Amino acid sequence: MTKLRYERPVIKALNTGVTNKFGAQQGFIPHTHIDGVAVKDLIAEHGSPLFVISEKTLRDTYRKAKSAFSTRYPNVQFAWSYKTNYMNAVCNVFHQEGSWGEVVSRFEYEKALRNGVPGDKIIFNGPDKTTDDHRVAIANGSPIHIDHLDELYSLIELSDEMDKRPRVAIRINMDTGIQPMWDRFGFNYENGQAWDAINKIMHSKKLDLIGLHCHIGTYMLAAQAYGVAASKMADLALNIKKKFGHSIHYLDLGGGFASKNTLKGAYLSGSDVAPTFADYAEHISTALLNAGFEPDELPLLILETGRAMVDDAGYLLGSVLANKRLSDGRRATILDFGVNLMFTSFWYEHTISPAQECSQYAEDAVLYGPLCMNIDVIRENVKLPPLNKGDQVVVHRVGAYNMTQWMQFIALRPRIVMVDLDSKVHLVRDSEDLDYMMHLERVPEHLKSFEL
Ligand SMILES: *Cc1c(COP(=O)(O)O)cnc(C)c1O
């Protein structure tokens, strides 16, 4: 006779999810399908853990954002922020919808080129551009967003050397009433640095100043900050016209719109407090339309929306490895994915649903990842129906910054699939294996053998 498993019981009050002031508790509704495909089938076919991207949600979100802006302002262009999620399949959905590319490194720049984005529709941002990066961007006619004076001088030298007129914008940082102020990128509006840079560019006559750019922060819950930013950008553009008779072709308001994820420690859930695309669009377009541009001189409005565009479309599926009791009696559940795959669990309280029928009883639990590392915590405290070994879970809103900031630490990275509009599943990135990792390693000759 096999011995039955025994665990010393812990007596704890169970909570059925009483209604609090925000309504009934949620989280006990099993999430069994994604766009018509069963979670258990996805895991059976592609393994656990597994990232899943919904093409439908990507396109729906893009169209919502596009319509919020283009119904309020005549001339709008989105540029996809590669660093937010640079899986080619994701980028190409946005490019098919009409997005340009927005990149912050040579690696991302080359990725956008290889995806087929024309050079003049790749916006090159960021403080890290080498002389060679500049040469390539100038040759391709890409808009180069200048971050600092060293970059400005370098571009002036290159324009002589290459006998070309680089197309540039400058990045502006400013006080929009939000603390802390992001002032490490670009030139400051209030203290005159921005005008310094503008004067240098205009007097040099070597660079074509086609735009002004700002990116005032990320996960910005205050939509009115964008109104302030748009007014200040418009003020610069109008005064450049007055002083130099030069029209600025575009104002790029960057990214930073909040997604519907909930920040750690937030009182209200993200889906209750995050402004809608319409809220942001209202503030930006009102500021631009009232700024004093002649109707036929309204600049193109560029938006580099990242997280708010892609977060909802990403899911992470995983499985329960084990349960245990902590020394204080708390329930702990160990999952097969951790902070290695979910970088955003450091600042979000991600919603996690069971993927199969579950009990309506709930218990406070801590969710751990599989890493042998104390900080590998997915949720510090979450009320969930008790999950058993082998049960599957769905983590919501992981489309932004996880598939780019994930770490190859202790474990190899899993597959990513995309569910298309007909519920067909496509592999868009394979899992890593030992050969993939070893491919990059070199062992010096004298270290190739040993005896033990
Ligand atoms: C990161 C970044 C974005 C995208 O930001 P989100 O907060 O994800 O919308 C856009 N523009 C620039 C310059 C960035 O660095």
pLDDT tens string 222-266: 999 999 999 999 999 999 999 999 999 999 999 999 999 999 988
**Phi, psi angles (nearest 5°) of residue 27:** 110, -5
CA of 204 to the centre of ligand 1 (A): 30
Superfamily of domain 26-52+313-432: Lyase, Ornithine Decarboxylase; Chain A, domain 1 (2.40.37.10)
Mind spelling out the 3-state secondary structure of 320-382?
EEEEEECCCCCEEEEECCCCCCCHHHHCECCCEEECCCCCCCEEEEEEECCCCCCCCEEEEEE
CA of 283 to the centre of ligand 1 (A): 19
**Whole-number pLDDT of residue 24:** 53
CA of 34 to the centre of ligand 1 (A): 27
Mutate to test the pocket of ligand 1, among 90, 94, 102, 214 (most ligand atoms within 8 A of CB): 102
Specify the fold of 55-311. TIM Barrel (3.20.20)
Say which residues have a Cβ less than 8 Å from residue 196's Cβ, sequence separation at least 6. Answer: 187
**Whole-number pLDDT of residue 9:** 76
Ligand 1 atom at shortest distance from the alpha carbon of 217: 7
Q: Is 305 in the pocket of ligand 1 (CB under 6 A)?
A: yes
Q: What angle do CA 293, 100, 157 make, to 5 degrees?
A: 80
**Phi, psi angles (nearest 5°) of residue 164:** -135, 160
Is beta strand 377-384 parallel, antiparallel or unpaired with respect to 363-368?
antiparallel
Query: Residues of the chain whose pLDDT is less than 50?
Result: none
**Whole-number pLDDT of residue 107:** 98
Structure-token pair, residue 383: 């009320």
**Whole-number pLDDT of residue 282:** 97
Q: Is 399 in the pocket of ligand 1 (CB under 6 A)?
A: no
List the residue whose alpha carbon is closest to atom 3 of ligand 1.
Answer: 255
CA of 185 to the centre of ligand 1 (A): 12
Contact 304, 316 (CB under 8 A): no
CA of 425 to the centre of ligand 1 (A): 29
Intervals of CATH 3.20.20.10 along the chain: 55-311
Structure-token pair, residue 230: 């748009």
**Whole-number pLDDT of residue 20:** 56
**How many Å separate Cα 77 from the centre of its chain?**
18
Q: Is 81 in the pocket of ligand 1 (CB under 6 A)?
A: yes
Q: Is 213 in the pocket of ligand 1 (CB under 6 A)?
A: no
List the residue whose alpha carbon is closest to atom 7 of ligand 1.
Answer: 256
Q: Is 166 in the pocket of ligand 1 (CB under 6 A)?
A: no
Q: Is 262 in the pocket of ligand 1 (CB under 6 A)?
A: no
**Whole-number pLDDT of residue 150:** 97
Task: Calculate the average pLDDT of the chain.
Answer: 94
**Whole-number pLDDT of residue 360:** 83
Residue type, 55: E
Tell me the C-alpha to C-alpha distance, in Å, between residue 435 and each of 66, 417, 440, 447: 43, 21, 9, 19
Residue 202 buriedness (CB in 10 A; 0-12 / 13-18 / 19+): middle
**Whole-number pLDDT of residue 28:** 76
Contact 217, 178 (CB under 8 A): yes
Intervals of CATH 2.40.37.10 along the chain: 26-52+313-432
Q: Is 397 in the pocket of ligand 1 (CB under 6 A)?
A: no
CA of 375 to the centre of ligand 1 (A): 27
Which residue do the tokens 């937030």 mark?
A: 266
**Whole-number pLDDT of residue 2:** 83
**Whole-number pLDDT of residue 346:** 94
**Alpha-carbon gap, residue 81 to 95, rounded angstroms:** 11
CA of 10 to the centre of ligand 1 (A): 47
CA of 257 to the centre of ligand 1 (A): 9
Q: Is 215 in the pocket of ligand 1 (CB under 6 A)?
A: yes
**Whole-number pLDDT of residue 14:** 56
Q: Is 61 in the pocket of ligand 1 (CB under 6 A)?
A: no
Q: Is 379 in the pocket of ligand 1 (CB under 6 A)?
A: no
Ligand 1 atom at shortest distance from the alpha carbon of 213: 13
Query: Structure pTM?
Result: 0.94
Structure-token pair, residue 444: 């010096």
CA of 403 to the centre of ligand 1 (A): 15
**Alpha-carbon gap, residue 441 to 448, rounded angstroms:** 12
**Alpha-carbon gap, residue 65 to 49, rounded angstroms:** 31
**Whole-number pLDDT of residue 425:** 98
- Name the H helices within 190-261: 193-204, 224-244
